[in-house]
Amino acid sequence: MLSTETDMAFESATALTARLRAREISSSELLRNYRARIDRFNPAINAVVTLDERAFEQATAADAALARGESWGPLHGLPITIKDSLETAGLRTTAGAPEYAAHIPTRDADAVARLRAAGAIVFGKTNLPAYAADCQTFNPIFGTTRNPWNLERAVGGSSGGAAAAVAAGLTGLDLGSDLGGSIRNPAGYCGVYGLRPSYGLIPTRGHVPGPPGSLVELDMATVGPLTRGPRTSGLRSTSWPGQMPPTPPRGA
């Protein structure tokens, strides 16, 4: 059983979703726990840069649905965060760029929409360098993200806020993006799991850059999870197709 704030904060998303389904914990309880930890630890780490108050209503609805025997999917009621380069409907998405500081999308990035459809509750956005275009995590809007294991150390980039939030127990999991190491590099710096899926497996539409609100697919970029456990990194059934394409025969 989960008995303390720390227990809940550092359980893997796989374990948490199982406990949510078993009603050992509630989505509302888990969200309140993450928010309390953000209030306590995030001022020093600066990993989570925007919060969505609508998440509390969504968590309450998730708990009520589960009590009625309904399931929203494999991530039912799990509170998660999203890298601030991926658009989130009604929630500011800046890509760390001053010209987008007030940008509020009207639709989710495709991968974010799939996570919501699987039952996840998006409650915040995580920091990154401007335009997700560096191997560190600083931008002129939100400043620097610091490593939760040592505040004098860097978190890498560009999904540095995502990795730091997962490592500090501020979120159930985070959705990041990677072209040249932007998931893998900060995951290594912060001691968490990060997956760069095969190119084209997860849609990148709704990532900034390209232009906000666009349906542009970024060449060679991927979207993938940062988690506290290796099993959670294989969430194919939620944000990408459950069936992998067949392996071609040798020589094909």
Among candidate residues 158, 159, 177, 233, the one labeled active-site is 158
Choice among 26, 27, 28, 182 that is catalytic? 182
Q: Is 125 a catalytic residue?
A: no
Mark whether 27 is an active-site residue: no
- Does residue 178 sit in helix, strand or coil? strand
Q: Is 233 a catalytic residue?
A: no
Burial 189-221 (b: 16+ CB within 10 A, else e): bbebbbbbbeeebbbbbbbbbeebeeeeebeeb
Distance, CA of 173 to CA of 74 (rounded, Å): 14
What is the chain's length?
Answer: 252
Of 83, 125, 159, 233, the active-site residue reads 83
- Helix (DSSP H) and strand (DSSP E) numbers for the chain: 8, 8
Distance CA 187, CA 166 (A): 9
Instruction: Please list the active-site residues.
Output: 83, 158, 182
